[in-house]
A = this chain, B = another copy of it.
């Protein structure tokens, strides 16, 4: 492989630009497999135009029925492939680079896809909090678009989605309940990863979201969150980071 794979991501305003949980899934997969990649930054208002221009596939539909484009997307100069969606990217990389460590152990694809859906669904009740925290991370040039698209989708002002007070406390409790569900899944495993002693895309999903939370909930909030469920989350993030060193 001569040229690095291009990974499209949304830039945040921190010193580390990356902050999207879904893109972290692709980052961890690329890093775990030891594949060279470089980030190309696109603010969300520019994703649709840019992705159409390179010929990336949409990942869903907007309420009006038109195509919806998201990141991560990768562009692989070695094969010409352009792949949208974090789990499709992981599948593509496993197939295209079979000599690198696999993230879908033999026979695990269907089960990990069920895991993925169940994980995202369980996260649902804490999403308002994630949205509001995301708003604090984006670049000023992205604020108007972000606000408009969220308010249109949710039907209320951004400030009313998870204001400090009882509503925010409920969302924080929802976060703990969500991680409690995931903790119970890990407790069923025979080892420290979801697939026992075998690291897989299931752990990448969880690790990527933890990496995202680590950025969104700084300071005391992250201190508290990472200590929940016997300190599982701080430990897991540390372990995933050991396996997949991000640039």
**Chain B residue at minimum C-beta to C-beta distance from A106:** B196
Interface pair A190/B107, CB less than 8 Å apart: yes
Q: Within A88-142, which residues are at the interface with B (CB < 8 Å)?
A: 105-115, 117-118
State which residues 165-218 of A face B: CB under 8 Å: 185-186, 188-191, 193-198, 202
Copies in the complex: 2
Task: Establish whether residues B110 and A194, one from each chain, have CB atoms under 8 Å apart when the complex forms.
Answer: yes
A114 touches B110 (CB 8 A): no
Name the contact of A107 in the complex, choosing from B105, B110, B186 (C-beta under 8 A): B105
Q: Which residues of B sit under 8 angstroms from A115, Cβ to Cβ?
A: 111, 114-115
A104 to B18, CA, bound (A): 38
Cα(A191)–Cα(B189), bound, Å: 24
- A107 CA to B192 CA in the complex, in Å? 10
A206 → B minimal CB distance (Å):
11
Contact of A118 among B118, B193, B194 (CB under 8 A): B118
Tell me whether A111 and B109 are in contact in the complex, defined as CB-CB below 8 angstroms, given that A117-B118, A118-B117, A118-B118 are known contacts.
Answer: no
Within 8 Å CB of A193, what residues of B?
107
- Which residues of A126-162 have CB atoms within 8 Å of chain B's CB atoms? none
Residue in contact with A110 in the complex, picked from B106, B110, B113, B186, CB distance below 8 Å: B186
Q: Which of A107, A115, A195 has the most CB of B within 10 A?
A: A107
Q: Are B118 and A196 in contact (CB under 8 A)?
A: no
A107 to B112, CA, bound (A): 12
State in angstroms the CA–CA spacing of A196 and B112 once bound together.
12
Chain B: minimal CB distance from A232 (Å): 13
**8 sample A-B contacts, Cβ–Cβ < 8 Å, listed by A number:** A107-B197, A108-B108, A110-B186, A110-B188, A111-B112, A113-B188, A114-B185, A115-B115
Residues of A within 8 A of B (CB): 105-115, 117-118, 185-186, 188-191, 193-198, 202
Q: A110-B196, A111-B115, A111-B202 are in contact. List 8 more A-B contacts (CB 8 A).
A: A106-B196, A107-B190, A108-B111, A110-B186, A111-B114, A111-B195, A113-B188, A115-B115
